[in-house]
Amino acid sequence: MSSLESARSSSVESVWAVVTSFHPDDLGPGIARLAPQTDGVIVVDDGSGPAAAEQLDHARASGAEVVALPENRGIAAALNAGIRRAFERGADAVVTFDQDSSVDADFVSTLVTLHDDLVESTPGGVAVVPQFFAGVDQTVVRAADGRLAARNPIQSGMLLPRSVVDAVGLFREDFFIDLVDTEYALRCASAGVAVMGAPGLRLHHRLGARYRAHGWPLRRLGVLTLSAPFRYYYRMRNRILLEKEYLPRFRSRLLRDGLIDRAHFLIVLLLARPRSAMWDTLRSAARDGRRGVGGRMPAAAAARARAISWDATRDDED
């Protein structure tokens, strides 16, 4: 029996979790924490193949239904496959998660409670996220009553009622990975859907690897969080795609975020070895973004990215 049974008067009576995975290493415990909080858990594996079979069996044993995609189609496609399946199973809302996210026992009920508190006063619809993602506050105070509006929320931990998905649509699969959630939040705002934060609620998550740069002056920056080199193709390309579509409506927001991203790209370029490979990766990403090209990165760009390493030392201290 779901722990949501006591909240059956909610406007979202059936809530399912959708968890995406790609070469997972420890799915069972996270699924076991989600199962009592929801009416069902769907794990969508994004083309990991036979190597993930044991972990997917652990997910099934913990109570999840598993959807295994035959090839890697990107996180947006994996999320969409899980959302569709949950709605087929009768869900009124889904909460989406990455495989690296974990939750406390009251996580889903807190999201649902805030949704119910806000839904009558937000005629365009409301999605709900935790205030904190991996320790980072992803909200701003919008009103005198202290309600928290989300700013660039991460999709992991996001409550999406079916009515919102019907109004806004699913995640954009041509983004493949990176800024998928940012685009969705901008689309929500364009459609009049509020994305609000649950005060004090935390989603535990492992971010990218932490490094300390070698040499001056980057050493003065301290610990840096870096993604796998290939991710910077998607981050650059999708940043440009976002700006092409949404800059007229969200100018100050996108200019600020774009400046922050481009400063990070400069740091990444200085740390990459060989630097020329990262330059080519970013340049091809920018060209594809300007041309409006989405989907999986070209094979040649992926091969260049695989050759890149960081001129930095891993920092694994807590």
**What is the chain's mean pLDDT, rounded?**
92
d(C-alpha 278, C-alpha 280), whole Å = 5
| pLDDT value at residue 221 | 85
| pLDDT value at residue 44 | 98
pLDDT confidence bin for 8, thresholds 50/70/90: very low
Region of 118 on the Ramachandran plot (φ > 0 left; ψ -120 to 50 alpha; else beta)? alpha
The 8-class DSSP code of residue 208 comes to: S
Q: Which residues have CB under 8 Å from 125's CB, separation 6+? A: 119, 161, 163, 164, 167, 168, 191, 192, 193, 194
Range name among 25-34, 159-168, 230-239 with the lowest pLDDT average = 25-34
Are 155 and 188 in contact by the 8 Å Cβ rule? The answer is no
Residue 7: is its pLDDT beyond 60?
A: no
State whether residue 264 is helix, strand or coil.
helix
Residue 82: is its pLDDT beyond 80?
A: yes
Write out pLDDT tens, residues 27-46: 888 899 999 999 999 999 99
| pLDDT value at residue 218 | 81
Q: Average pLDDT of 224-251?
A: 96
Share of the chain above pLDDT 90, in %: 80
| pLDDT value at residue 19 | 97
Residue 216: is its pLDDT beyond 80?
A: no
| pLDDT value at residue 208 | 75
Q: Which two tokens stand for residue 52?
A: 């993930």
Residue 267: is its pLDDT beyond 90?
A: yes
* Topology, domain 3-205: Spore Coat Polysaccharide Biosynthesis Protein SpsA; Chain A (3.90.550)
Q: Outline which parts of the chain fall under CATH 3.90.550.10.
A: 3-205
Q: Report the interhelical angle of 231-246 vs 180-190 (nearest 10°).
A: 10
Strands 223-226 and 209-213, how do they pair?
Answer: antiparallel
Q: Average pLDDT of 74-97?
A: 98
- Among 16-30, 79-93, 304-318, name the most confident range: 79-93
Range name among 104-108, 115-119, 142-146, 244-248 with the lowest pLDDT average = 142-146
Strand-pairing partners, residue 20, are: 44, 98
pLDDT confidence bin for 83, thresholds 50/70/90: very high
Q: Average pLDDT of 121-135?
A: 93
Q: Which two tokens stand for residue 199?
A: 């005060």
Range name among 26-35, 235-244, 302-311 with the lowest pLDDT average = 26-35
pLDDT confidence bin for 18, thresholds 50/70/90: very high
Prediction pTM value: 0.93
Q: Average pLDDT of 270-276?
A: 96
| pLDDT value at residue 143 | 67
Stronger pLDDT, 266 or 222, i.e. the higher one: 266
pLDDT confidence bin for 217, thresholds 50/70/90: confident
Write out pLDDT tens, residues 50-72: 999 999 999 999 999 999 999 99
